[in-house]
Chain A
Amino acid sequence: MKPVYALLFLVFSSVSVFAQKKVELRFNTDGVCGMCEKRIESALLDIDGVWTADWTIESHETWVVYNPKKVSELDLQRAVAAVGHDTPLVKAKDEDYAKVHACCKYRDEQVVKAHGG
């Protein structure tokens, strides 16, 4: 039964963060498609202290649960802007916006229209 213990150890080592303090935050984020969603969410999830993140295509809203002792609201929005998406506190730099894929150019009306918006 040794393998069972090894597996349980792995599991509990990842549960240790259960007790951490968590705060919910919602903020508007510009984007148009599923690729944007993935980019926004993984930018946030890569941050230590972020528990979970979700961007909704219909409402353009980012929902993030995080530990305020480790990361601030501004840090979160900076991270999103750094991958090219505008947030209320931080506008993405032109060079960062330039890096998003052609189908994700949410500042271009033609692209927005093509996505049905």
Chain B
Amino acid sequence: MIKRLVFGSLCFLSLPLFGQVDTSLYQSLQIKEVTIREDAAGLSIDSKSAQLDLNISRTELKKAACCNLSESFETNPSIDVAFTDAVTGTKQIQLFGLAGKYAQIQVEMTPLVRGLLANSGLQFIPGTWVQGIQLTKGIGAVNHGPESMTGQINVELLKPEDLVDAAAAPDSEGRGDVLLNGYFNQGGRFEINEAYGVRLNKKWMISSLGHFSGRQRGTDVNGDGFLDNPLGYQVNGMLRARYFGQNGWEGLYTFHALEDVKQGGQMANAFAPGIGADQLWTSQIKQGRLAFTAKTGWVNPDLPEQSFGSIVQVYSHELGVQMGLPKGTAPSSLYSQLRGIQNGGMAQVLYYHGWGALVQTSALILQHDAYQVGLDRLELGNGRPWVENNVGLSTEWTYQTEERFTAVLGMRVDAHSIAGNQFSPRFHMRWEPWTSHTFRVVAGRGFRMAQPLLEEYGRLASQRFIRWEQYGQVLGGDLLSMESATNMGLSYSHPFMLNYMAGGIQADLHRTQFQRAVIHDFYTPGERSIYPVTIRDWPGSIPLQSISAGISINYNLNKRSELRMAYRYQDLKASYYSDDVNGNGLMTLPVPFVAPHRLMVHYSRSFKGGVVMDVTLQRYGKQAIPGIDPSIRPAIDYAPAFHLLSAQIRHEFKGGDLYIGMENALNVTQSNPIDGAVSPQTSQPLLPSDPYFQSHFDATRIWGPIFGRMLYLGTNIAL
């Protein structure tokens, strides 16, 4: 029972080393206590945790059309998936309307979506590698790091024991010796994934995770001369080794390597013959990562209330971005180049000790990141290198009585080489005054270091002139690029049984208030300004704030069908510099690309013979976007509300499944996603040499789908 407490179901109390969905430790001791069921609810709330934790299982991930982590949230009412831009092809997520970078996104408790990979890291986790996702709404646990402001997302990947044990029980669903996945869609994207595990001996298991995807065939559905999605490929692989030793020792060692290349922009065949590649606006983005992670854990066999764990990770990330016309072919305002290298590492030690109702978990984190950034863009100069070091010490006390009440008080101190000493207190409370009516309260602070230009490199695809005052504002590595926020939240959850069928209601209210924020200001046509707004410099201002309220209901209508409905309201405001002499120099305006009203209905039904159907309807309300009419100040425009409907039918058979689906079935598209791409008179694509293109080109105002209705086909096979 105590071992289960350490590694098992009490998420908040567990040693956060091998992940909270990992119940396979000590499996031989635990067959009676813990059983993993693949057909368990796709989405479930951890009723015992002091945080509002939402667990997303592999079953749920199968409902997502494709392919990687950013898309796997498409059936989840808590997280919004924003739209790709045609240049980077990167989907972003939002939590409480705030960008994904304000949530702490981790892979098995190590950072991935951070620094140079803040923009695209989610794309480097193929959905088929994922064992489960744990989403915490509101500020996260203090021992995981300082960076969580809106929430925390931890992704657990398939571990060697998941793949080896699956081989031992071949009729456990969808698993076997070699797991293969293939996918192809109408937009020309293909994907092949692999997962394979071998038990070497009693102590060691190894496994491999592989991914190859790409797009070789370009499409231009809207006829603007630009590819709808970038061409390119991604090769991504992970080798893992697992050790279970004597006396409570265990280890997990992972090597990760990837390369991703994307080419977008104008297609030569959209223009008259004889137009060469050097006359077209094109983009090339190349990314790479090498990383090694070692995790070691120990549970005192004589005193299981004591355990210890360590994580060591070293990594190297590379980002190269080139956009515009080839250098020198002018106009130079259409050319940008960005080269970044981030070499770094982290080490973390965790210690857990329990005294009955009171448990203490402490952590020490050391982080090192060395950035080298080279720039080549007219108004930005040449870039520079910088180093960030951080030593963080944190501890957390959990007090739990009689399963009805849990309180967690956490404190962390970070000594950061640039941000200075930062203190982040956090508090979580769970109270169940009546059976199955649970209230939770959360409050706390987090901070992060922004790399404003690097984490939004897709926005370089524009003729907007970048305004900045100091390098720290645009590149990072300076106090000017530090962001900090406090988050407060209240939630209620209530599982119920009605007509013998299970259902649940949950409601939450969260306010995220920034003390310091780096603002990306697109509200002046032809310009993009990047500047910090802090409460210290602007007393009484709201640098950036999100107030978000949501309610969701799920109910199993009968043994074969489930209905989920969710509504979320999110009010996002930020302070923008204003030339209005009457104000204090700042204007509070809505943040662009966030729809305040969001609605989702999801219906799932299974049929005899292993056929499962999923239908999801989402409504995005009216959203603010940057305007392009220079006579209106501030230049705010609004994009219309729209619906997205997706459906999937999956046939499960022994040893695998086959699925077919449709995304954006209503064929909703944004007209003219790229400003300046086509002539307003003739509607023909324009070359970058055209003056209209040069004065209007802007691929950063995308608020909706570019590619319309899309059919896809995929299969999972266990050999």
Interface, chain A (partner B; CB < 8 A): 3-4, 7, 10-11, 14-15, 17-18, 22, 33-35, 37-38, 45-46, 50-53, 57, 65, 101, 103, 114-117
Contact = CB atoms under 8 A, between A and B. Distances in A.
B275 interface: no
A57 B32 contact: yes
B666 A114 contact: no
29 contacts: A3-B645, A3-B665, A3-B666, A7-B601, A7-B617, A10-B605, A11-B603, A14-B560, A22-B500, A33-B31, A33-B35, A34-B36, A34-B37, A37-B35, A37-B37, A38-B37, A38-B39, A45-B559, A46-B608, A50-B559, A51-B558, A51-B559, A52-B501, A53-B559, A57-B35, A101-B169, A101-B171, A114-B31, A116-B31
Contacts of A3: 617, 643, 645, 665-666
B306 interface: no
B172 interface: yes
Contacts of A53: 559
Contact of A14 (B36, B561, B615): B561
Nearest to A115: B31
Given A3-B645, A4-B617, 15 more contacts: A3-B666, A7-B601, A10-B615, A11-B557, A11-B561, A14-B558, A14-B605, A34-B35, A34-B36, A46-B608, A50-B559, A53-B559, A101-B171, A103-B169, A117-B32
A14 B32 contact: no
Given A7-B603, A117-B32, A52 B37 contact: no
A40 to B, nearest CB: 13
Given A7-B617, A10-B603, A51 B500 contact: yes
Interface string B557-575: 1111101000000000000
Secondary structure call for the A interface: helix
Contacts of A15: 557-558
Contacts of B563: 11
Contacts, number: 62
Contacts of A33: 31, 35
A110 B197 CA distance: 28
B499 interface: yes
A33 B28 CA distance: 13
A116 B29 CA distance: 8
A57 B33 CA distance: 10
A10 B615 CA distance: 10
B635 to A, nearest CB: 32
B557 A116 contact: no
Top 4 A-B pairs, shortest CB-CB distance: A34-B35, A116-B32, A14-B561, A3-B645
A3 B645 CA distance: 7
Secondary structure call for the B interface: loop
A97 B39 CA distance: 23
B32 A18 contact: no
Nearest to B29: A116
A50 B171 CA distance: 24
Contact of B32 (A37, A45, A50, A115): A115
A57 B36 CA distance: 13
Contacts of A57: 32, 35
A21 to B, nearest CB: 12
Contacts of B561: 11, 14
Nearest to B34: A34
Nearest to A1: B643
Nearest to A116: B32
B569 to A, nearest CB: 19
Contacts of A103: 169
A52 B500 contact: yes
Contacts of B32: 57, 115-117
A26 to B, nearest CB: 13
B669 to A, nearest CB: 16
A76 to B, nearest CB: 14
Nearest to B35: A34
Contacts of A52: 500-501, 559
A18 to B, nearest CB: 6
A50 B559 CA distance: 9
A100 to B, nearest CB: 10
B308 to A, nearest CB: 27
A44 B32 CA distance: 23
B535 to A, nearest CB: 43
Nearest to A22: B500
Contacts of A38: 37, 39
Nearest to A117: B32
Contacts of B608: 46
Nearest to A54: B500
Interface centre among B31, B563, B603 (most CB of A within 10 A): B31
Contacts of A18: 499
